[in-house]
Amino acid sequence: MSEAGAASTATGRKAAGATWFGAWLARPLASFHLIVTIATLLTLLGLVMVLSASSVEAYAADGSAYSLFVQQAMFATVGAVLFYLALRVPLWRLRQLSFPMFALSVLALVLVLIPGIGSSVQGSRRWFMIGPLSIQPSEIVKVTLIVWGAHLLVARRALVGSRATYKDVMVPLVPAGLLVCLLVVLQPNLSTTIALGLILAALLWFGGLPVRLFVTISVSGLVAAGVLALSAGYRSNRMRAFFNPGDDPQGINYQARQALFSLADGGIWGRGLGQSRAKWSYLPNAHNDFIFAIIGEELGFLGCALVLGLFALFVYTGLRIASRSVDPFLRLLTATATTWITGQALINIGYVVGLLPVTGLQLPLVSAGGSSLAITLLMFGLIANAARHEPEAVVALHGGQDGRFSRLLRLPKPELYTAPRPRAAAKAAPQKKTQPAPRGDSAKGRRSGSGRPARRSVDSDSSRRAGNQPRGSRSWRSTRAWEPSYPTTHARDRGKPR
């Protein structure tokens, strides 16, 4: 075969592969299957790496190399149950319970600060101890803030319409978010405060806050984070270690340097699963904050590329679901959750490779941490639920194309979102008493078939301009997310037949 023929054959195979992948992505439930696959792969990878990274430390502490792994597996089981429940919860019920759940999570943040109720570990009071399990309420408040914030912004914009002001977007969301951040700082827990700041910023950005005001708030948040980072001894040591990486290699820079040594030791192919040297008490928190370094050492550059590829695929899928959803609540929830999980992953990987100061944020679904694993799986379940509410997915599911997975789990069929009736742009002005019309006018009115004066159209100039404006030129972030309101979105809730 000639070179030209071989080249044409290779090009044809690539085109066929691209066509097959594009056809698979065009399937109605492709987003749902991608989310489930990503969550499963990251959770399984995390369990394997937690077992490998924690075996030495667990054996030294408890006499069993599987103690930390068993605890992580228990929380993975709890997270799987939460994932399933999130798939089954109706959207109207989720929105109905959003504020009570947020209020309970804030109450838990207050209770955990009380001695005798919250447990203190290494100077931080963050956990509730319930038997052998420890629950961290600051992880729960991440999900409740996302759900309640998305519901609040959509309901507020649906109530006031296009006349929404900055106050309508920021109040009471921003005060509530700042209160949560303050309670978490008092634990103290700066890393979770940064994650909550990411969530609040994503809600404001996708909620349509003007860019200038958003930049102002973001800069203020960065300044506050810098002040908090320098206010405590251990946090200021981390900042000094980041800006002076060559100072004190056996002290404040020890952990960061050992992480880089682990990554370098792995090379391209890695030393092999379970063959890490750093986990033998050379790298502190190898199974938790710095598990990405163990992945790089045992699985090499290819293992790190796999983790990055899975999170990149998650970003694509999450934004795909947000753009394809017609429900503004699901658009805002999915976009915010994608920003939070991806931002937390990038911060963790960034400080492991030395690009950011060490913050203590965990790698989602991979690092050891029961509460974080279970709550992140719950959030993935809500995103998967949103994927099942895409218009094409709803039509396919009602047409019997639910597949084996949905039939096995007996998942309920989602209802197609219908926008409520559009509201008038402005309220009608009160009618004024009119003087009796002259005979000529009254006769003209009788000839026209009505004795009433002609009414002015209810459409204002602004609404006519909005109607004449092409849809593509309108901002997705500021208008499209608020086109429908949600008080009664589903046919069953409005009393209409399906």
Q: Which range, of 111-120, 244-253, 400-409, 438-447, averages the lowest pLDDT?
A: 438-447
Handedness of CA 216, 220, 221, 223 (dihedral sign): positive
pLDDT tens digits, one per residue of 180-234: 999 999 888 888 999 999 999 999 999 888 888 888 888 988 888 888 877 766 7
Residues 277-297 have a mean pLDDT of: 92
Residues 66 and 459: their CA atoms lie apart, in Å, by 69
Q: CA neighbours within 13 Å on the CB side: how many for 470?
A: 2
**Greater pLDDT, 78 or 402:** 78
**479 pLDDT band (50/70/90 cuts)?**
very low
> What are the contacts of 226-235 at 24+ separation with CB within 8 A?
228/185, 228/190, 228/193, 229/190, 229/357, 232/188, 235/190
Q: What is the pLDDT of residue 82?
A: 96
Please tell me whether residue 118 adopts helix, strand or coil conformation: strand
Residues 256-268 have a mean pLDDT of: 92
274: part of which helix (H) or strand (E)? Answer: none
Residue type, 195: A
CA 196 to chain centre: 11
Q: What is the pLDDT of residue 461?
A: 39
Burial of residue 150 (number of CB atoms within 10 Å: 0-12, 13-18, 19+): buried
pLDDT tens digits, one per residue of 428-470: 444 444 444 444 444 444 444 444 444 333 333 333 334 444 4
**Greater pLDDT, 227 or 482:** 227
What is the CA angle 168-169-172, rounded to 5? 75
Whether the predicted pLDDT of 12 surpasses 60: no
Q: In terms of DSSP bridges, do strands 124-130 and 133-135 run parallel, antiparallel, or are they unpaired? A: antiparallel
Asked if 318 and 335 touch (Cβ cutoff 8 Å), the reply is yes
Q: What is the pLDDT of residue 5?
A: 54
pLDDT tens digits, one per residue of 343-399: 999 999 999 999 998 888 899 999 998 889 999 999 999 999 999 999 999 988 888
**Greater pLDDT, 478 or 352:** 352
Whether the predicted pLDDT of 294 surpasses 80: yes
DSSP helix, strand, coil percent of the chain (3-state; round to 5): 65, 5, 30
For all residues of the chain together, what is the average pLDDT?
81
Whether the predicted pLDDT of 489 surpasses 50: no
Q: What is the pLDDT of residue 212?
A: 87
Whether the predicted pLDDT of 246 surpasses 80: no
Phi, psi for residue 417 in degrees, rounded to 5: -75, 130
Q: What is the pLDDT of residue 464?
A: 38
Residues 166-180 have a mean pLDDT of: 87
Phi, psi for residue 265 in degrees, rounded to 5: -70, -25
pLDDT tens digits, one per residue of 62-121: 888 999 999 999 999 999 999 999 999 999 999 999 999 999 999 999 999 988 888 877
Whether the predicted pLDDT of 21 surpasses 80: no
DSSP string for residues in 441-468: HHHHHHHHT-SSPPPPPS--HHHHHHHH
Quote the pTM value: 0.81
Residues 419-432 have a mean pLDDT of: 48
Q: What is the pLDDT of residue 87?
A: 93
Q: What is the pLDDT of residue 232?
A: 65
Angle between helices 137-160 and 173-185 (to 10 degrees): 170
Q: What is the pLDDT of residue 370?
A: 86
**Greater pLDDT, 106 or 400:** 106
> So where are the chain's domains?
25-409
**159 pLDDT band (50/70/90 cuts)?**
confident
Q: What is the pLDDT of residue 128?
A: 85
pLDDT tens digits, one per residue of 299-340: 999 999 999 999 999 999 999 999 999 999 999 999 999 999
Residues 23 and 29: their CA atoms lie apart, in Å, by 12
Asked if 199 and 145 touch (Cβ cutoff 8 Å), the reply is yes
Q: What is the pLDDT of residue 336?
A: 96
Q: What is the pLDDT of residue 9?
A: 59
Q: Which of 249, 227, 320, 246 is nearest to 35 (CA)?
A: 320
**Greater pLDDT, 472 or 26:** 26
**Greater pLDDT, 128 or 41:** 41
Whether the predicted pLDDT of 285 surpasses 50: yes
